[in-house]
Amino acid sequence: MRAWAEIDHDALRHNLGVLRSAAPDSLLMPVVKADAYGHGLVSVARTLRESGADWLGVALPEEALSLRSAGDSGPLLCWLAVPGEAFGDCIAADIDVSAYDGRMLAEVVAAARAVDRRARVHLKVDTGLSRGGAMPPWEPFFELAKQAADDGTIEVVGLWSHFAYADEPQHPTVARQVELFESAIAAATGVGLTPQIRHLANSAATLRLPHTHYDMVRPGIAVYGISPGPAVGTESELDLHPVMTVKSRFVMVKDLPAGQGVSYGHQYVTPHDTTAGLIPLGYADGIPRAASGVGPVLAAGEIRPIAGRVCMDQVVVDLDSSQAEAGDEVVMFGDARRGHPTATQWADLTGTIGYEIVTRLGPRVARIDMGSTPKATDPAPSEEAKLSG
């Protein structure tokens, strides 16, 4: 195989356990949007359900519907639909949806009537991220929801918001957002709504801000064994095990003379006679072009930078005359405990975050499930955790 990503389901289970211990009194909703952060939606979802995830969260309706097509039937929330999107399909498939304002709520209500099913809705309030969600004053939005709940068209299951700065747990906006979330809860209660599931915490808040856990936490990146940011802690401090290890093999190994330019633009010039290894992965696979000259690769026993530019399908590594041959395995990033470079190191060296390194890995790289994985024929999760419905 040219290149593959090993997905360690034992690590996934371990991380879920870490998050469960961090928030023992809240429901746990691992986030599996964007193909489970690049790790493979369906198989990751199966392992998470089997390991006790109470809910799953996704961004897009089509992500939620893919889970349902794959046999997943547990509590599931999606939160990012554009006008005219398939609310009806979601409602009919028992997927909880989110409303960000009165307009979106009206659309959910219409869809629920059209499919003749009560929609399960999580009302989203903007407490300072200034992304999705209703701005205060919240009462008019909540009044609309109350009316639709009273006439049986919707059930208001959740009230939720999202942090701007939880990856810096001491940041003053955290307290301000919690305060505003509390006032949203009070406003909902004031109009007679009683959302059972209030949720606010992402990975960073799940790990570092227990007072933000409320009824449910929504960790994403930590599920995959990657730290949300340096102020939250390193992977080893947080006891997170990276789930994805990206591997490939040398296509060719050859000698190069001293003073030889390597890859487009000859950005790298061999300092002495050396050996070069050709790795068949490039920016078309999600290897950032910004990793030109830096991307740390475990090749021929050592962690080495990429020599020169990252190309569309290939990179070259200077093996410094080490013994190596075509077909030898290399590791782009994986688990530091196994001596691999990590997604976090790649991110630090290329000016991005670990989230982007794993999520951008392209479809040409096969995901290979490792560790003990649930049987594909037995995807049905338990319904026990579901609070109502």
Ligand X SMILES: *Cc1c(COP(=O)(O)O)cnc(C)c1O
Q: Which residues bind ligand X (CB under 6 A)?
A: 31, 33, 79, 162, 202-203, 218-221, 228
Which C-beta is closer to ligand X: that of 127 or that of 203? 203
Evaluated on CA atoms 332, 335, 341, 344, the torsion sign reads: positive
Which C-beta is closer to ligand X: that of 203 or that of 342? 203
Give the residue carrying structure tokens 């097509």: 69
Closest distance between ligand X and the C-beta of residue 99, in Å? 14
Closest distance between ligand X and the C-beta of residue 280, in Å? 30
Evaluated on CA atoms 105, 106, 109, 115, the torsion sign reads: negative
Closest distance between ligand X and the C-beta of residue 263, in Å? 34
Which C-beta is closer to ligand X: that of 31 or that of 256? 31
Would you tell me how many other CB atoms lie within 10 Å of the CB of residue 179? 12
Q: Cα(49)–Cα(45) distance, rounded to whole angstroms?
A: 6
Asked if 184 contacts 127 with a C-beta cutoff of 8 angstroms, the reply is yes
Asked if 256 contacts 276 with a C-beta cutoff of 8 angstroms, the reply is yes
Amino acid at 209: L
| Candidates 124, 214, 254, 264; catalytic one | 264
| Candidates 33, 100, 124, 247; catalytic one | 33
Would you tell me how many other CB atoms lie within 10 Å of the CB of residue 160? 27
Give yes or no: 33 in active site.
yes
Q: Cα(338)–Cα(351) distance, rounded to whole angstroms?
A: 24
Which C-beta is closer to ligand X: that of 202 or that of 270? 202
Closest distance between ligand X and the C-beta of residue 297, in Å? 26
* Local structure of 343: helix, strand or coil: helix
* Local structure of 316: helix, strand or coil: strand
Q: Which residue is nearest to ligand X (CB)?
A: 220
Which C-beta is closer to ligand X: that of 49 or that of 199? 199
Residue 196's nearest CA partner among 135, 148, 149 is: 149
Closest distance between ligand X and the C-beta of residue 133, in Å? 9
Which C-beta is closer to ligand X: that of 26 or that of 202? 202
Token couple for 25:
């009194």
Number of H helices, E strands in the chain: 12, 19
Closest distance between ligand X and the C-beta of residue 307, in Å? 33
Give yes or no: 264 in active site.
yes
- Active-site residues, by number, are 33, 264
